[in-house]
């Protein structure tokens, strides 16, 4: 990774992250080496070998408990990993603003932000701070962090029998501390032990299931069995999130945090249409892509959001031969940034697989093909709405492998 230390020092604001991408574009374009694109993988499932780092543990969160008590079991298990992760975030923040001033700010001022966050998120965060012994402001920081820095690939596909499959790679940690010795992203590696699967229950019945990071109360990936599946991807835009997040801190609080909306929808929306309306119409703090699958033929879409409204809903359309929709981090009607084209290789592999052969197994193959699989890939999740299945796997991308 060129300029690793420079980038490392510049992390700390998503807006800088955006300008760093532009900088890379101009400074690297003449010497850019083609990405490590491989032939579409086959036979990767069940997961094994060097790209499979481990299974993900299941936990239950009881929604009938008071919010501050819901995460105790998860946090008790994952406390040490959470503390390590937050120490790494603090190191990055110190590199960005030396002298520890930023962290003083976090410890002093972010707890005040907590009171502005909606129920039940505010109380769950208090419980997590208590259970982990980590200062409240740092848990708030940890929860805001993902709103800003997620890069991913998600897709919904319909098989010829009408069965819907939803898969995603969660890529996280771009520009956050490149470890030159291990050729890996520091934050990405520290996140892997925090990945958990959670079964959210009410009256001792599953309401929804998700793949999540311990300590984080929003959702990025989840299924409401027999009803819908949902993932969220970051959308970079000049009308960007950082403005909305700044406005929130300064007191203008009209929008909703993206991953809080995703969680609310998984918890309380009762159908595909209900979920779609909420995701399309709720005002947000930042732009986002929501990838939503339903439980019937033709129900699958990518919702491209600005902060205020839905710009586009791109749906499955079998009559047009569109048996899958796939989203990375670029509007589907535009070309992806050539330095970060995970879309073309993923589509190529989906096309090669063909509708007749789509399954959890073949979707895992697509998500295991470099550069769809890359150094940022933290986990792969596969979901099948008709039987309520959610499976996830921690990933590794051995060299040679694209850094993103």
Ligand X SMILES: *[C@@H]1O[C@H](CO)[C@@H](O)[C@H](O)[C@H]1NC(C)=O
Backbone angles phi, psi at 209, to 5 degrees: -130, 150
- Omega of the bond leading into 346 within 30 degrees of 0 (cis): no
- Asked whether 398 and 50 are in contact (CB, 8 A), the reply is yes
- Which of 99, 204, 333, 334 forms a contact with ligand X (CB under 6 A)? 204
Active-site residue, from 17, 40, 152, 349 = 152
Closest of 288, 326, 169, 230 to residue 221, by C-alpha? 230
Residues whose CB is less than 8 angstroms from the CB of residue 20 and which lie 6 or more positions away in sequence, other chains included: 7, 10, 175
- Which of 344, 355, 360, 361 forms a contact with ligand X (CB under 6 A)? 344
For residue 299 the two structure tokens come to 């129900």
Establish if 368 lies at the interface with ligand X (CB under 6 A).
Answer: no
Establish if 95 lies at the interface with ligand X (CB under 6 A).
Answer: no
Q: Residues 241 to 300: which contact ligand X by CB under 6 A? A: 263-264, 267-268, 270-271, 295
Q: Which is nearer to ligand X, 240 or 293 (CB)?
A: 293
Distance CA 303, CA 311 (A): 8
Q: Which is nearer to ligand X, 6 or 226 (CB)?
A: 226
Binding mask 303-342 for ligand X (x = CB under 6 A): ------------------x---------------------
Establish if 357 lies at the interface with ligand X (CB under 6 A).
Answer: yes
- Which of 49, 182, 251, 333 forms a contact with ligand X (CB under 6 A)? 182
Q: Residues 219 to 248: which contact ligand X by CB under 6 A? A: 226-227
Binding mask 115-144 for ligand X (x = CB under 6 A): -----x------------------------
- Count of residues touching ligand X (by CB under 6 A): 20
Residues whose CB is less than 8 angstroms from the CB of residue 160 and which lie 6 or more positions away in sequence, other chains included: 355, 356
Nearest approach, Cβ of 76 to ligand X (angstroms)? 21
What's 152's DSSP letter?
A: E
Nearest approach, Cβ of 295 to ligand X (angstroms)? 4
- Which of 179, 199, 315, 341 forms a contact with ligand X (CB under 6 A)? 179
Distance CA 240, CA 283 (A): 13
Please confirm, yes or no, whether 40 is among the known catalytic residues: no
Establish if 206 lies at the interface with ligand X (CB under 6 A).
Answer: no
For residue 189 the two structure tokens come to 């590696």
Nearest approach, Cβ of 204 to ligand X (angstroms)? 4
Q: Characterize 287-315 residue by residue with b for buried, 16 or more Cβ atoms within 10 angstroms of its Cβ, and e for exposed.
A: bbbbbbbbbeebbbbbbbbbbeebeeebb
The beta-strand segments (E) located in 103-163 are 150-158
Biggest alpha carbon–alpha carbon distance for the chain: 60
Closest of 331, 223, 305 to residue 272, by C-alpha? 223
For residue 336 the two structure tokens come to 């992806």
Closest of 389, 401, 404, 398 to residue 50, by C-alpha? 398
Nearest approach, Cβ of 101 to ligand X (angstroms)? 25
Q: Which is nearer to ligand X, 76 or 357 (CB)?
A: 357
Nearest approach, Cβ of 40 to ligand X (angstroms)? 9
Establish if 188 lies at the interface with ligand X (CB under 6 A).
Answer: no
Q: Which is nearer to ligand X, 24 or 284 (CB)?
A: 284
Establish if 351 lies at the interface with ligand X (CB under 6 A).
Answer: yes
Q: What's the angle, vertex CA 192, arms to CA 398 and CA 358, rounded to 5?
A: 70
Nearest approach, Cβ of 196 to ligand X (angstroms)? 18
Establish if 347 lies at the interface with ligand X (CB under 6 A).
Answer: yes
Distance CA 210, CA 307 (A): 24
As beta bridge partners, residue 300 has: 293
- Segment near ligand X (CB under 6 A); pick from 73-81, 146-154, 278-286, 346-354: 346-354
List active site positions: 152
Q: Which residues here bind ligand X, judged by CB under 6 A?
A: 120, 179, 182, 204, 226-227, 263-264, 267-268, 270-271, 295, 321, 344, 347-348, 351, 356-357
């Amino acid at each position: 990774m060129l300029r690793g230390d420079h980038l490392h020092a510049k992390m700390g604001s998503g807006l800088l992250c955006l300008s760093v991408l532009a900088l890379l574009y101009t400074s690297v374009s003449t010497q850019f080496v083609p990405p490590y694109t491989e032939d579409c993988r086959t036979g990767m499932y069940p997961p094994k070998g060097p790209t499979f780092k481990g299974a993900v543990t299941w936990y239950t969160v009881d929604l009938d408990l008071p919010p501050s008590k819901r995460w105790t079991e998860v946090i008790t298990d994952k406390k040490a990993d959470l503390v390590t992760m937050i120490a790494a975030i603090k190191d990055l923040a110190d590199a960005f603003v030396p002298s520890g001033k930023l962290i003083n700010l976090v410890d002093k001022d972010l707890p005040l932000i907590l009171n502005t966050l909606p129920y039940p998120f505010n109380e769950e965060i208090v419980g997590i701070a208590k259970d982990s012994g980590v200062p409240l402001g740092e848990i708030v920081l940890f929860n805001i962090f993902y709103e800003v820095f997620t890069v991913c690939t998600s897709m919904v596909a319909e098989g010829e029998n009408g069965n819907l499959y939803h898969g995603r790679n969660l890529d996280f940690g771009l520009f956050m501390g490149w470890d030159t010795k291990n050729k890996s992203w520091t934050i990405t590696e520290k996140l892997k032990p925090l990945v958990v699967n959670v079964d959210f229950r009410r009256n001792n019945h599953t309401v929804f299931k998700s793949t999540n990071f311990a300590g984080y109360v929003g959702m990025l990936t989840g299924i409401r069995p027999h009803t819908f599946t949902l993932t969220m991807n970051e959308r970079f835009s000049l009308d960007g999130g950082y403005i909305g997040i700044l406005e929130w801190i300064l007191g203008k609080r009209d929008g909703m945090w993206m991953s809080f909306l995703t969680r609310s929808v998984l918890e309380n929306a009762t159908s595909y249409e209900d979920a779609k309306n909420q995701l399309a119409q709720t005002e947000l703090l930042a732009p986002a892509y929501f990838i939503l699958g339903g439980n019937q033929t033709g129900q699958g879409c990518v919702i491209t959001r600005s902060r205020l409204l839905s710009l586009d809903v791109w749906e499955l359309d079998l009559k047009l031969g569109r048996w899958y929709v796939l989203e990375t981090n670029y509007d589907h009607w535009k070309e992806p940034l050539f330095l970060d084209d995970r879309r073309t290789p993923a589509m190529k592999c989906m096309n090669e697989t063909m509708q007749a052969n789509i399954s959890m197994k073949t979707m895992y193959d697509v998500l295991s093909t470099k550069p769809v699989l890359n150094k940022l890939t933290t986990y792969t999740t596969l979901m099948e709405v008709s039987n309520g299945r959610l499976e996830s796997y921690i990933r590794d991308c051995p060299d040679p492998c694209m850094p993103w």
